[in-house]
Structure 1
Amino acid sequence: MRKIVTFIIIFTITLGIFSEIAFAQNSVNNISADGVILMDYTTGEIIYSKNIDTPYPPASTTKTMTALLTLEKCKLDDEVVVGKKPPFVDGSKIYLYEGEKLTVKDLLYALLLQSANDAAEALAEHISGSTDEFVKLMNSRAKELGALNTNFVNPHGLYDENHRTTARDLALILRELSKHPEYKEIATTNMYYIKPTNKSDKERPIWNKNRLVQKNSKNYYEGCEGGKTGYTVQSKHSYVAVASKNGQKLIAVLLHDSKYTYWTDVKVLFDYGFNNFTLNHLYLKGDLVGNYSVKSGVEIPLLAAEDFYYIKEKKSTSIPKVDIENKDLSKTSFQRGDNILNGNVMLDGKKIGVIKLASGEKYSAMNFIPTLSKNSDGKQSSIGKTFLYIFSFAAFSVVLLRIRKLRLRKNFKNRH
């Protein structure tokens, strides 16, 4: 009887766990946006995807790239003088005046909190001299980040049939933007005031449109570190956001959604990621990953050249393995710490990443003998010691043979 009861309890718990996971999966699959991605910030691994490489008009989520370039190219206290064009841009704005002087910080708050198109154009002209030149910079930076299906034609996101990006590309841009601590500080501020300027004698209040960071909102999401909304009639609704929980950070993107449901949809995405997946570290920099055998028989220790993290389902018990590339290095000289090989990290038969492998020894291709290096604890390595003994013995033998030969020659001369 007890065995039956125990079995029923275990079965019920197991069924509950898998039902919860299935429910979460179904909830994510019900998201109506055409392009959807949930990406792990640390590893770049994709947890959930839907049409992630299909280009869509991104509306004001474009401003994540404008903000990124601003933080990369400017200081927050830099002065910006507004040109002729920004005051006449369409859409959302804070009503800048030609010749008005503001700081980069003021314009960034207007850009990210109130989605001001005139602030976007003012920053673009300040950085590149014109919006056309700034757009070139936007597209160039996108390619550097791996956003290969993106083509920007303006710095704010007003609809243009050639203005396109993808869920994957936007996630890569937001991931890079989130590396700047200033972004989180700005993006999580509920309200900001732009002080009177040389053209305006009144303060301008700037409200944050991102409800996920507003604690008094029903859409508040604890751990949200920023986000950007977007909408035009042709572009439909779009939204990007980043959130952290228990040391794990996730990036969510929703593109081209006919429904105004991104507040709840993005929370479903974040909950799905945090509840079902964990961030794990496989190796820390300097950890021994394996050994490489040179053709001469020398064993070279291979060390992790960087920290390596990976995402795994919480229910999974699998452990990643590293497949070290097969490459002949016997004729290559390298220093201790040089990156010499790569390892493909495999989990359940799937490649989840590549780890760079550094040599734990100096190695000279001239004589196929590793030079004498020390371990991390300052002691001579065992490999170095072994070859020191071999080399010393060989050198001593050569000297003895040379002496013997000289003596034989001398004796021969004395006899004759």
Structure 2
Amino acid sequence: MRKFIIILFTSFFLLFNIAPAVQALITPPVASADSVVLMDATTGKILYEKNKNSAYPPASTTKIMTILLVLEKCNLSDVVTVSKKAEMTDGSKIYLTEGEKLPVKELLYGLILASANDCAVALAEHVSGTTEKFAVLMNARAKSLGCKSTNFVNPNGLYNVNHKTSAYDLALIMMELTKHEEYKAMSTTPSYMMAPTNKSVEKRPLWNGNRLIHKGDSYYYPDCVGGKTGYTIQSQHSYIAVATRNGQKLIVALVHDSKKTFFPDSIKLLNYGFDNFELSKYFNKDQEVSKLTLEDGTLIPLLASKDFYVVKAKNSTEAEAPIIKTEQKDLNNSSITKGDEISKATITFGKDSYNLDLSSGINHANPLSLNNGLLKDDSKNSKNSLLLINIIKYFAIFLAVLIVFLRLKHIKRNR
């Protein structure tokens, strides 16, 4: 009887203690910043959040948007002429001089490594003419990325009561910026020596303020591939960083931190993300996701427009089969070209939902769309198709008349 009780107790202990531990996540670390986000950069999934949409002044982390726009709008070899306004900019600077000419690439190094406000103004004016017009561009780009808690007033993050963003919006901007290899190359450069210019015979030495990329630093994080610090007295501390490990890319954003704990907090959050979550590919690009049946019976394969990934907790026992819902779109009167994006899918795994654009796997020509003017393509191919249809139609009429004429002539001769 005693042996039976011991076995029974042991079974209950294993059932209620050990089994759940396999699925449990480590408790996420505490971050002191007021707005915090840990995001998977491939899918956009939030792995940890704290007031993710609360907007605060972001100080120099603003510059990741400036960097993004410069990389999108300029060539690195473009030459920028420094204005008086850029020269007179307050805060951190590399002391540019009015009339000084520098390549965009050199100014970006000054902006990324030294957080130079004068470089930000010079680049903004080069792109848009004025910093005010550049701020309009910044806000439009932020909106296009899905930012809803952001309003930029300047390109460098100098304090303004109306200049604000959230940790989530900052992560969205960084997610787009990391697509540019030029950014990774510059942001992981520990130090850089700027070349002499027409106004400066001396080289300008630059030192990267992101301690996570410096070997030998107590905060060195070998997986870090970029980051930006920010600080003003009114804005307090902000920080954003991106790191990659085993094909997984994570972004950590911390806004409005009074305790200056952003470096250790970021490392703890990144480790939490890498240790507890994994990225896996579910669909390859051009793999069939679903099908669409047209009224004429044509079956259109709907293919993934890109490689599709999901993020799951490690050791998760969730069911693998997702729920896939495709957008209902009337394509019955349209001609479809293989590769055209013709639908969207919402793919749900448990509580997590992802969006995926779907493309057609075949060509499908619908003559009715030509005759009814539903195709808005006035290309040469469309005109030739219409001409061919008319030729066939008139030839068929001519052939029918000729057959009738010959038949009547034959009947008359027999009489």
TM over 0.5: yes
Distance 1:70-1:291 versus aligned 2 partners, 3 A rule: closer
Q: Which ranges in structure 2 are unaligned for 5 or more consecutive residues?
A: 370-407
Counterpart in 2 of 1:312? 312
Distance 1:11-1:70 versus aligned 2 partners, 3 A rule: same
Q: Deviations over 1:149-180 (max 9, x none)?
A: 22111111110001111212111111111111
Aligned length: 372
8 Å CA contact 2:92–2:115 kept in 1: the answer is yes
Moved more, 302-311 or 5-14: 5-14
Moved more, 231-240 or 353-362: 353-362
Distance 1:140-1:360 versus aligned 2 partners, 3 A rule: closer
Moved more, 132-141 or 206-215: 132-141
Counterpart in 2 of 1:344? 346
Moved more, 263-272 or 134-143: 134-143
1:362 CA displacement? 3.4
User: For residues 155 and 367 of structure 1, what CA distance do their matches in structure 2 show?
Assistant: 53
User: For residues 362 and 79 of structure 2, what CA distance do their matches in structure 1 show?
Assistant: 52
Q: Normalising by structure 1, what TM-score?
A: 0.81
User: For residues 330 and 16 of structure 1, what CA distance do their matches in structure 2 show?
Assistant: 52
Distance 1:331-1:66 versus aligned 2 partners, 3 A rule: closer
Residues 202-281 of structure 1 aligned to structure 2 (within 5 Å): 202-281=202-281
Counterpart in 2 of 1:141? 141
Runs of 4+ aligned structure 1 residues displaced above 6 Å come to 1-12, 412-416
Counterpart in 1 of 2:35? 35
8 Å CA contact 1:310–1:352 kept in 2: the answer is no
8 Å CA contact 1:149–1:165 kept in 2: the answer is yes
Distance 1:141-1:340 versus aligned 2 partners, 3 A rule: closer
1:12 CA displacement? 6.8
User: For residues 76 and 112 of structure 2, what CA distance do their matches in structure 1 show?
Assistant: 14
Counterpart in 1 of 2:325? 323
Which of 330, 334, 337 is matched with 2:336 structurally? 334
User: For residues 170 and 34 of structure 2, what CA distance do their matches in structure 1 show?
Assistant: 14
User: For residues 288 and 183 of structure 2, what CA distance do their matches in structure 1 show?
Assistant: 37
Counterpart in 1 of 2:26? 22
1:14 CA displacement? 4.3
1:339 CA displacement? 2.8
Counterpart in 2 of 1:381? none
Moved more, 57-66 or 171-180: 171-180
User: For residues 20 and 339 of structure 2, what CA distance do their matches in structure 1 show?
Assistant: 50
User: For residues 331 and 202 of structure 2, what CA distance do their matches in structure 1 show?
Assistant: 69
8 Å CA contact 1:41–1:250 kept in 2: the answer is yes
Distance 1:413-1:343 versus aligned 2 partners, 3 A rule: farther
User: For residues 204 and 173 of structure 2, what CA distance do their matches in structure 1 show?
Assistant: 29
Counterpart in 1 of 2:359? 358
Counterpart in 2 of 1:84? 84
1:337 CA displacement? 3.2
Q: Deviations over 1:288-338 (max 9, x none)?
A: 223333345443333223221121111223322312334554444423333
Moved more, 138-147 or 228-237: 138-147
1:208 CA displacement? 0.6
Moved more, 331-340 or 280-289: 331-340
Letter in 2 for 1:312: K
8 Å CA contact 2:285–2:303 kept in 1: the answer is yes
User: For residues 156 and 40 of structure 1, what CA distance do their matches in structure 2 show?
Assistant: 26
Moved more, 297-306 or 48-57: 297-306
Letter in 1 for 2:148: L
User: For residues 365 and 103 of structure 2, what CA distance do their matches in structure 1 show?
Assistant: 56
Moved more, 319-328 or 300-309: 319-328
Residues 31-70 of structure 1 aligned to structure 2 (within 5 Å): 31-70=31-70
8 Å CA contact 1:344–1:351 kept in 2: the answer is no
- SS of equivalent residue, structure 1 residue 62: helix
Distance 1:8-1:120 versus aligned 2 partners, 3 A rule: same
Letter in 1 for 2:361: G
Distance 1:121-1:291 versus aligned 2 partners, 3 A rule: closer
Counterpart in 2 of 1:405? none
8 Å CA contact 1:33–1:257 kept in 2: the answer is yes
Q: Deviations over 1:111-134 (max 9, x none)?
A: 111111111112122222222222
Distance 1:11-1:136 versus aligned 2 partners, 3 A rule: same
8 Å CA contact 2:213–2:220 kept in 1: the answer is yes
- SS of equivalent residue, structure 2 residue 26: helix
Distance 1:80-1:172 versus aligned 2 partners, 3 A rule: same
Distance 1:366-1:18 versus aligned 2 partners, 3 A rule: closer
Counterpart in 2 of 1:152? 152
1:59 CA displacement? 0.2
8 Å CA contact 1:38–1:273 kept in 2: the answer is yes
User: For residues 64 and 155 of structure 1, what CA distance do their matches in structure 2 show?
Assistant: 9
User: For residues 191 and 157 of structure 1, what CA distance do their matches in structure 2 show?
Assistant: 23
User: For residues 123 and 298 of structure 1, what CA distance do their matches in structure 2 show?
Assistant: 53
Counterpart in 1 of 2:197? 197
User: For residues 215 and 107 of structure 2, what CA distance do their matches in structure 1 show?
Assistant: 24
Letter in 2 for 1:352: S
- SS of equivalent residue, structure 2 residue 93: coil
- SS of equivalent residue, structure 1 residue 306: coil
Moved more, 307-316 or 286-295: 286-295
User: For residues 208 and 68 of structure 1, what CA distance do their matches in structure 2 show?
Assistant: 18
Counterpart in 2 of 1:110? 110
Tell me the C-alpha RMSD between the 2 structures: 2.9
Letter in 2 for 1:344: T
8 Å CA contact 1:214–1:220 kept in 2: the answer is yes
Q: Deviations over 1:203-252 (max 9, x none)?
A: 22111110000111111111101100001111111001110000011111
1:8 CA displacement? 6.6
8 Å CA contact 1:61–1:230 kept in 2: the answer is yes
User: For residues 415 and 102 of structure 1, what CA distance do their matches in structure 2 show?
Assistant: 98
How many percent identity over aligned positions?
Answer: 51
1:188 CA displacement? 0.7
